[in-house]
Chain A
Amino acid sequence: MTRTSGTSGTTVRGTAPHEARVALELRELGRRYGRHWALRNATFRLPAGRVCGLVGPNGAGKTTMLEIIAGLRRPTRGEATVFGAPAGSAEARARVSFLPQEKPLFTRFSVADTLRMGRELNPGWDQALAEDFVRAGSVALDAKVGSLSGGQRTRIALAVALGKRPDLVLLDEPLAELDPLVRRQTVGALLAEVAERGITVLMSSHLVAELDTLCDYLLLVSRGGLRLAGDVDELISVHRLLSAHGDAVVDAPDGTPAGLEAHTVVQAQRERRQVSALVRPGGPVTDPWTAAAPTLEEVVLAYLEQGDADALISPNSHVPGTGTEVAA
């Protein structure tokens, strides 16, 4: 369910509905630096109109993935398409904005110069949008970029990214190093644009807690590749956090606690007298286990800690013709 499909036939920027539904598609995408694979075998679809979180441990290839989609890097293997156009092609580049983690700007430019750069280099530039966005953060247009605070610089960088009128915005750790107030303002401003124009957002973060109220879609990558992909509410609802008193549960010979045979166990751990397990339920929960709904953070951490758990790719992010498991 995307905002696009729910909007009585109106689609993003007049593109054909079937095309507009998929903002991004990766097929077996991989990138190697020397002998080290920074990213391997990433396959998924991102429906248009979503605010998607990209989480994973450091070194899992989040930045590499974003840079490939933005057209800054070539993949070693596989392919990425943005609204049907190959990443890095002129068509794809015109529809994608990317805000790197370091939020690079020309420090000797004024804010007005920075916006002019956007205007000079992008045919679809929206000067009014960019200027409004800057003014809303009470940044003067004639201020030198080098004299701005981190939060103000983020706003300018975001103004350039949004003034391009992209359909897909890629953000690499956008909220790191921002104080809570600026973070809230920045998020609010970004989400307002999402509401206004139905753009798709893909943002990486290593702070899962930060994402679960912000994003409605989630991708989890680890060194092994893609672990989770799907609607946040859905990812939570297909999991249960089971717990039991340690004395009441014996471990099976393979080390997993007994009584969970009916479920797919993502991760189980024994701490003192408490045994807990994150599972994808396959039947009723039996004594002595009690079940609770997990938080997104608990789901994500379980998949991160148990790197070999089966990947869970929800149907709307499944790429047809690839062999990943589909949930439900």
Chain B
Amino acid sequence: MVCMKYRIERRRGVAAYQQIVEQTKRALRTGTLRVGDRLPTAREVAETCAVNPNTTLKAYRELEREGVVELRQGIGTFVARAPEPFVPDAGSTLHAELYEWTERALRSGMAEDDVRELLETALARYGDAAGDVLVTEERKGGPA
């Protein structure tokens, strides 16, 4: 088993379980985790990282829903396949545009934090404008 260290931070708009999902996927992209590896049990995560086991299990269920991991009854949670790459390859248009935009923003005298905040505001605004406002009914992670 690979020793995964999850770290939950207080982040606006990112639920704790989503952070575990993200961190697991990041570990897969960077090669810390490979297909076939067993993820730590909720108990192990709780003990080493002080993460609520319900959060860990919710994240694992989300990862299973996405097909990234596989729950094998009585054995453990295993990485089934690498997550869909959603970061476009270096050299793609999106990549180039973002680099260009970032450079312009920083040149204009904005601090790094301002840039980050601007990006997050844009993301949040896009999310709300797209009708994500009423996620209430959807109840993410509700009974399947």
**Direct contact between the two chains A and B in their complex (CB within 8 A):** yes
Chain A positions near chain B (C-beta within 8 angstroms): 1, 3, 5-6, 8, 49-51, 184, 187-189, 191-192, 194-196, 209, 212-216, 231-234, 236-238, 240, 281, 283-285, 290-295, 297, 327-328
Asked if B54 lies at the interface with its beta carbon under 8 angstroms from chain A, I say yes
Partner of A6, one of B43, B57, B129, B131: B57
- B128 partner residues in chain A, CB cutoff 8 A: 240, 284-285, 291
Report if A188-B8 is in contact (Cβ < 8 Å); known contacts: A6-B57, A291-B125.
no
Category for how many chain B residues contact A: 35 or more
Q: How far is the CB of A49 from chain B (nearest CB, A)?
A: 7
Chain B positions near chain A (C-beta within 8 angstroms): 8-10, 12-13, 15-17, 41-43, 45-58, 61, 73, 120-121, 124-125, 128-129, 131, 133-137, 139-144
Q: How far is the CB of A248 from chain B (nearest CB, A)?
A: 15
Smallest CB gap from B17: residue in A: A233
Apart from A1-B144, A209-B10, A292-B12, 19 more pairs, CB < 8 Å: A192-B46, A192-B53, A194-B46, A194-B52, A212-B10, A213-B9, A213-B52, A214-B50, A214-B52, A233-B141, A234-B136, A234-B139, A240-B133, A281-B133, A281-B134, A290-B125, A291-B124, A291-B128, A292-B121
Smallest CB gap from A189: residue in B: B47
Q: How far is the CB of A212 from chain B (nearest CB, A)?
A: 6
Smallest CB gap from A209: residue in B: B10
Partner of B47, one of A6, A188, A233: A188
Partner of B43, one of A192, A216, A281, A283: A192
